[in-house]
Amino acid sequence: MDSNSLHDFYFDRYQRYKAAADMIYDFQDRSPSMKILDIGSFDNTFAAFLPEHTVMPYDRIIDSAQGGLPYSDRYFDMAVAMDVLEHVPPSERAFFIREISRVSRLGFILAFPIASAAETEDFVLELTGSVWLAEHKRYGLPEPDEIEALLREMGFSFIRRPNACLPSWMAMMLLMHGTEKPMRIKISSFFNRHFYELENGEPAYRYIYLCTKSDKGN
């Protein structure tokens, strides 16, 4: 899939996939071709952004009651979990992070809408009735300070990048609501091509973390 086709992805998916892929490309000098686990993926879209790598989707629930991921330690070079943590009950979030770190040899990417975006999400939910945003409200958006403290406690260093400027995210979500698919694709393509580079700043809708092992894979 060429870069022009990638622009046709729904704007909210394109923003996080493109940013995460760029972080992996910045990181990949350690391993030119990597095996990557994409947690929460239902259609393996992220693979289109990483054609040089092998991306495996995983769409099952990860929690302590079900025993975690069915892979051995360090089975993958990296794991990514994009816009998944907010769908995990707060009591299970530490276990979730431990599991994705356990199966990743070099490190992992964690992306999630942040707690300060909750009021804006509530407004969009009120006007659109989005089932995904309803679950965000049920579990609560993760607080970056809490997640960062947990990552440090686990011995990870991390790079944090803002992703999806909150006012633009709100406007685009409302603009997209109720539009037919061809129109959504056309709007997303224009937005992704012309404005993506301007959207990775504060105030942000989500943060994306590149978390690395303390031993750096050695």
Q: Is residue 15 part of a domain?
A: yes
Q: Is residue 107 part of a domain?
A: yes
* Count of domains observed in the chain: 1
Q: Is residue 218 part of a domain?
A: no
Q: Which amino acid is at 204?
A: A
Residue 168: CB atoms within 10 A of its CB come to 17
What is the extent of the structural domain holding 137?
3-212
pTM (two decimals)? 0.94
Q: Is residue 217 part of a domain?
A: no
State the Cα–Cα distance between residues 136 and 142, nearest whole angstrom. Answer: 9
Q: Is residue 56 part of a domain?
A: yes
Q: Is residue 188 part of a domain?
A: yes
Of the pLDDT bands very low, low, confident and very high (cuts 50, 70, 90), residue 27 is confident
Q: Is residue 110 part of a domain?
A: yes
For residue 216, pLDDT over 50 is answered with no
Give the pLDDT score at 3.
60
Nearest CA-CA partner of 113 in 145, 129, 136: 136
Mean pLDDT of 44-50: 96
CATH code for position 84: 3.40.50.150
Give the pLDDT score at 213.
77
Share of the chain above pLDDT 70, in %: 94
What is the residue-averaged pLDDT of the chain? 94
State the Cα–Cα distance between residues 27 and 190, nearest whole angstrom. Answer: 29
